């Protein structure tokens, strides 16, 4: 099937409410403002009306000399049960390969929206390797954080609080008792000022004000984004930007001032964001990013590390979620020499604690 337009892609996604927000037309719209070209493609298992379908939103970044790189964040989208041998999946990978070759992609990176199986380690490795499409290789370089903490928010509020660590529940109540007021906001200027402050303090890079404004405006107008503001004595001291689609919500961005951190505004912000996500019908709240280590390693090291994602693990671990890791990423290489240069660059980039969304 040839490439389709954004409206057709949005219509396709209606059949997949569980699809990741990074595969939506709106995310493609956001990235197109920052140098990425968005391409949508759908494949079918047959011409029948009820044929199985799969599809992908592919992002392309232009490079000198007519080359580009391709990226599929948290996709493709389709029936996960038939991912290994479904006809629609096979046809989709062939179409994606053709598109990448036509655009002279140096490589295509795929970060699938799949979690490693809940089985013993050796079986998990085998199960994950079976999912790698023909022609791809497993890569060590991720764009989105591969490991995260998922919180079950499908329960009543008392059940959600009950699964949190006692200290986290205490901090939520402390913020309420000390007069922290959480409300929704559209003050992106103050949010960005505190984001820059937080990035400098916790050693991670931040996007531009224009990027956060675009993300907020694109998703807020369709009810899939909210900016939460924590105030003390009328002064904004912390922010949280959350996104939601279908059964899932994501905590992508958080910021705080250096003052009044002892009043624990970040804890109350997370709780109010979870309540908002529950109100929207979400069942999973994704805390989006912790260091890529097994649980035992994280627990033994977090007290002695503070930079990058280590700085947030101590905070996120208290909300009672489940540590999970995504499958992949996978790379399809078309120009090996240039790809090797990319790997060197990624090694340098990762050493600076850079991470997305």
Q: What is the pLDDT of residue 51?
A: 73
Lookup: tokens for 147: 């490991």
Of 1, 327, 318, 330, which Cα lies nearest the Cα of 149?
Answer: 318
Judging by DSSP bridges, how do beta strands 53-62 and 147-152 pair with one another? unpaired
Which residues have CB under 8 Å from 132's CB, separation 6+? 138, 328, 330
Are 9 and 138 contained in the same domain? Answer: yes
Q: Do 193 and 308 have their domain in common?
A: yes
158, 274: one domain:
yes
Structural domain contains residue 357: no
Instruction: Tell whether 339 is covered by a domain.
Output: yes
- Quick one: 308 and 332 in the same domain? no
Are 132 and 193 in a shared domain?
no
Same domain for 239 and 105, yes or no, is: no
In this structure, the answer to whether residues 180 and 266 fall within a common structural domain is yes
Whether the Cβ atoms of residue 246 and residue 18 lie closer than 8 Å to each other: yes
- The verdict on 46 and 182 lying in the same domain is no
Structure tokens at 173: 């109540």
Q: pTM here?
A: 0.93
pLDDT reported for residue 310? 81
The DSSP code for 192 is: H
Flag whether 279 is in a domain: yes
Q: DSSP class of residue 186?
A: -
Q: Is 243 helix (H, G, I), strand (E, B) or coil?
A: strand
Q: Rounded to the nearest 10 degrees, what angle do helices 25-32 and 6-13 cross at?
A: 140
Q: Tell me, what's the pLDDT at 125?
A: 53
Return the bridge partners of 60, or none: 37, 70
The ranges of the chain with pLDDT < 70 are 1-2, 47-50, 82, 84-85, 118-128, 307, 349-355
CA distance 325 to 76: 17
Run of H or E including 143: none
Instruction: Give the per-residue pLDDT at 120.
Output: 42
Q: Are residues 157 and 280 both part of a single domain?
A: yes
The single residue listed with the structure tokens 């991912």 is 83
Number of domains making up the chain: 2
Report residue 123 CA to chain centroid gap: 26
Strand residue runs (E) in 153-258 = 181-184, 225-232, 235-245, 248-256
Structure tokens at 47: 């011409």
* Rounded alpha-carbon distances, angstroms, from residue 182 to 99, 152, 177, 234, 315: 47, 22, 13, 11, 19
Does residue 356 belong to any structural domain of this protein? no
- SS3 (DSSP) at 180: coil
Q: Give the tokens for residue 354.
A: 């850079």
134-152 pLDDT tens trace: 999 999 999 999 999 999 9
11 and 64 housed in the same domain: yes
Residue 43: which domain range? 3-144+326-350
Looking up residue 316, the CATH number of its domain turns out to be 3.40.630.30
User: Is 159 contained in some domain?
Assistant: yes
Is residue 316 within 8 Å of 96, Cβ to Cβ?
Answer: no
**Pairwise CA distance, residues 147 & 131, whole Å:** 18
* Contacts with 226 (C-beta within 8 Å, 6 or more apart), sequence order: 184, 220, 241, 242, 273, 276
127: three-class secondary structure by DSSP? helix
**Is there a single domain that holds both residue 84 and residue 190?**
no
Token pair 């998990």 in the structure block, residue: 124
Q: In sequence order, what are the residues at sequence separation of 6 or more whose Cβ sits closer than 8 angstroms to the Cβ of residue 77?
A: 12, 13, 16, 19, 20, 23, 54, 55, 56, 57, 113
């Amino acid at each position: 099937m040839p490439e389709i337009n954004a409206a057709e892609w949005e219509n396709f996604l209606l059949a997949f409410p569980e699809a990741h927000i990074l595969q939506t037309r709106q995310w493609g719209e956001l990235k197109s403002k920052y140098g990425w070209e968005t391409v949508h493609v759908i494949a079918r298992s047959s011409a029948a009306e009820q044929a199985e379908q799969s599809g992908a939103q592919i992002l392309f970044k232009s490079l000198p000399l007519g080359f580009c790189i391709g990226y599929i964040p948290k996709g493709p989208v389709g029936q996960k049960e038939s991912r290994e041998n479904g006809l629609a999946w096979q046809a989709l990978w062939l179409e994606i390969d053709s598109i990448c070759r036509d655009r002279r992609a140096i490589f295509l990176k795929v970060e699938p929206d799949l979690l490693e199986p809940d089985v013993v380690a050796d079986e998990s490795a085998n199960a994950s390797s079976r999912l790698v499409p023909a022609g791809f290789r497993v890569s060590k370089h991720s764009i989105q954080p591969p490991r995260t903490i998922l919180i079950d928010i499908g329960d009543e509020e008392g059940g959600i609080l009950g699964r949190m660590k006692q200290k986290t529940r205490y901090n939520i109540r402390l913020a309420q008792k000390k007069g922290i007021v959480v409300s929704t906001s559209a003050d992106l200027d103050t949010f960005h000022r505190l984001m820059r402050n937080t990035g400098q303090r916790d050693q991670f890079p931040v996007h531009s004000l224009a990027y956060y404004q675009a993300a907020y405006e694109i998703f807020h107008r369709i009810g899939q984004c909210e900016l939460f503001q924590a105030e003390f004595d009328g002064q904004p001291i912390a922010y949280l930007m959350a996104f939601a689609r279908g059964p899932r919500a994501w905590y992508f961005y958080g910021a705080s001032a250096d003052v009044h951190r002892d009043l624990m505004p970040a804890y109350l912000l997370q709780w109010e964001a979870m309540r908002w996500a529950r109100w929207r019908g979400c069942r999973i709240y994704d805390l989006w990013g912790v260091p890529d280590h097994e649980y035992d390693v994280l627990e033994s090291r977090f007290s002695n590390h503070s930079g990058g994602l280590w700085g947030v693990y101590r905070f996120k671990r208290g909300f009672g979620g489940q540590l999970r890791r995504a499958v992949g990423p996978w790379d399809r290489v078309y120009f090996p020499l240039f790809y090797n240069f990319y790997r060197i660059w990624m090694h340098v980039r990762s050493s600076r604690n850079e991470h997305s969304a």
